[in-house]
Amino acid sequence: MAEFIVSARKYRPDTFKTVVGQESITTTLKNSIKTKHLAHAYLFCGPRGVGKTTCARIFAKTINCFNPTENIEPCDKCDSCLGFNKSSSFNIHELDAASNNSVDGMRNLTDQVRIAPQLGKYNVYIIDEVHMLSANAFNAFLKTLEEPPAHAIFILATTEKQKIIPTILSRCQIFDFNRININDIAGHLQFVADSESVTAEPEALNVIAQKADGAMRDALSIFDQIVSFCGNEITYDKTIENLNVLDYDYYFKLTENFISGNISQSLIIFNEILSKGFESQFFITGLAAHFRDLLVCKDQITIQLLEVGKAIAERYKYQSNQVSVDFLFKALEISNQCDIDYRNSHNKRLHVELALVKICNLSGFISTNHVNNVASNTNQNKVNTVNIKTETPVNNPIQQSTTPTVKAPEKIIPSIVKEEKVDYNAEDNSKPKSFTIKKALNEEKSEKETTNSQSAVNTTDANINTPFTNSELEIAWLQFAETKGNAVRISPLLKTNIPKLSENNQIIVPAINKSQEDELKKLHDEILFFLKQVLKNNTISLKVEVTEQSENESAKPYTDIEKYQFFAQMNPSVLKMKDRLNLDFDR
């Protein structure tokens, strides 16, 4: 039986070409060898497992090679290369600064540097984890590092450059190694799998690459672990099971429930995740990352930032088309705030569950492609917000007519009640304000049936194109303004900016400045949905335009009395406050 060698050692690069993810550094080193511009001291710094010591060894091997190739690679045939391959070269010396961190260790190194190489041109001293040297050892090493013999080259490697004193840094050429990206790691793992006759799913290798966190050595170690668990066939399911990684599918299912506003099912999925042993904070950070990946899929320019396998990437692209950018922004804000406040929470599970409930209630920010799925929730909120009297009988002839007979407020209001008054509204009014899981589970079936029924109604009404007049439009507009009665800024704005009907059922909403235009555009989808329902016309479009004021009007200042009268008209409570406090204007 052949001796087993771990992949991190067996597939350790031995040429510049085989180094993964550090092309800029290997190119610089090769050019310095080609032009014979070799420095006497180098500092390789960066995270663990990214190729610092490996590049130092390849560099040392190449500069001592007697017959380097045209691509500045070692020939692997000369005595120097063969001695290096057998670990018997006397030209390359590796030291561990952690065990040679004293002044005596540096004195021994200084004495050793004086000896000329027996074979080749250079003695190369590779000092790993050089930041472990003591302050006195650094000072003892300074003179030798600054003016070594011509045959001596020092290569220092460290993961913590900030711990090295500036006098050492100033004497070295510094190379910063970057974390290896996920695609490069996955590609190298596929090469190793093919070399070992192991069948591996691309999604499984991608999970290993993400788990490695930019370190190739860690990725190869995890690969060996998965092979021991799965055998010669690595699958995605077995990989996430062995590494205890949360499946992407949970996040996709949760997002589907967020879109439909299904609170109970979202909490059940979260409970299932907790039962598998995952931490709540790990889950919420993963959920935020999921929303981030959906967001980058919204633009072809940023889609390259998605670091997942092809199959999962297609799912991200599909789901990103189902939600709006506003929804993703709000969901990211909620999940990020949940992560920030997580440590201060005494009931951590409830803290995360509240965040899920908040995301489920973002139905107003869902893409218009799914407006039918949330129509019942939106209509219910509007009916509950507006205080509408329902004394009009159900058999009102106006409600049964399909012609534009709406002439006055009392005629249009019963029509809204007829459309939005569904059987479940009475039940919702009797529900307790507090949320209980048991109650939600019992009503889940009936809620789904109601949603499907409402979606069917919306589909049936999709082709309605009932004409309407400016007066009917104004009535509907003011009625929508009443639904915003609690919004101090929005309600007065809607009441003063009355729209006009243009050609092809386009509604022009005036705004006197950029600020008003921005506020009205934020309500665009909600206003449009409301007007389509009230006016029985699905061809309506909405446009906000900034109207230009005349010079006399813009230059005319408002008096205090005019300001008071304006606010009193918008809010009658101002009159009561004036009378109660016995206020008056200075004459």
SS3 labels along 265-304: HHHHHHHHHHHCCCCHHHHHHHHHHHHHHHHHCCCCCCHH
Please tell me whether residues 107 and 230 are part of one structural domain: no
What total number of domains does the chain contain? 6
Q: Does residue 412 have a pLDDT over 70?
A: no
Please tell me whether residues 153 and 48 are part of one structural domain: yes
Can you give the CATH number for the domain in which 514 is found? Answer: 3.30.300.180
Question: Beta partners for 510?
Answer: 545
User: Which of 348, 366, 384 is a domain's end point?
Assistant: 366
Please tell me whether residues 480 and 428 are part of one structural domain: no
Can you give the CATH number for the domain in which 155 is found? Answer: 3.40.50.300
What is the predicted pLDDT for the residue at 367? 52
Residues 261-278: what's their mean pLDDT? 90
> 202-212 and 182-195 are packed helices; what angle lies between their axes, rounded to 10 degrees?
120
Cα 490 → chain centroid? 31
Residues 266-272: what's their mean pLDDT? 92
pLDDT tens digit sequence for 302-359: 888 888 877 888 888 899 888 888 899 999 999 999 999 998 888 989 999 999 999 9
Please tell me whether residues 121 and 235 are part of one structural domain: no
Can you give the CATH number for the domain in which 354 is found? Answer: 1.20.272.10
Can you give the CATH number for the domain in which 201 is found? Answer: 1.10.8.60
Residue 1 lies in a domain: no
pLDDT tens digit sequence for 138-148: 888 888 888 88
pLDDT tens digit sequence for 393-404: 333 333 333 333
Q: Is 102 exposed, middle or buried (0-12, 13-18, 19+ CB in 10 A)?
A: middle
pLDDT tens digit sequence for 377-388: 444 444 443 343
Please tell me whether residues 14 and 58 are part of one structural domain: yes
In sequence order, the 6+-apart residues with CB closer than 8 A to the CB of 93 are 112, 123, 124, 125, 126
CA angle 472, 473, 477 (to 5 degrees): 120
Residue 462 lies in a domain: no
Residue 212 lies in a domain: yes
Residue of higher predicted confidence among 443 and 140: 140
Residue of higher predicted confidence among 375 and 244: 244
Please tell me whether residues 478 and 440 are part of one structural domain: no
Cβ count near 394 (within 10 Å)? 11
User: Which of 132, 157, 176 is a domain's end point?
Assistant: 176
What's the whole-number average pLDDT of the chain? 78
Determine contact, residues 537/466, Cβ cutoff 8 Å: yes
Please tell me whether residues 93 and 239 are part of one structural domain: no
Residue 2 lies in a domain: no
Please tell me whether residues 448 and 586 are part of one structural domain: no
Q: Domain range spanning residue 509?
A: 470-553
Residue 507 lies in a domain: yes
Residue 464 lies in a domain: no
Please tell me whether residues 538 and 561 are part of one structural domain: no
505: left (phi over 0), alpha (psi -120 to 50) or beta: left
Please tell me whether residues 115 and 149 are part of one structural domain: yes
User: Which of 202, 225, 243 is a domain's end point?
Assistant: 243
Please tell me whether residues 161 and 68 are part of one structural domain: yes
Residue 114 lies in a domain: yes
Residue 465 lies in a domain: no
- φ, ψ (nearest 5 deg) of residue 42: -125, 150
Please tell me whether residues 427 and 482 are part of one structural domain: no
pLDDT classification of 486: cutoffs 50, 70, 90: low
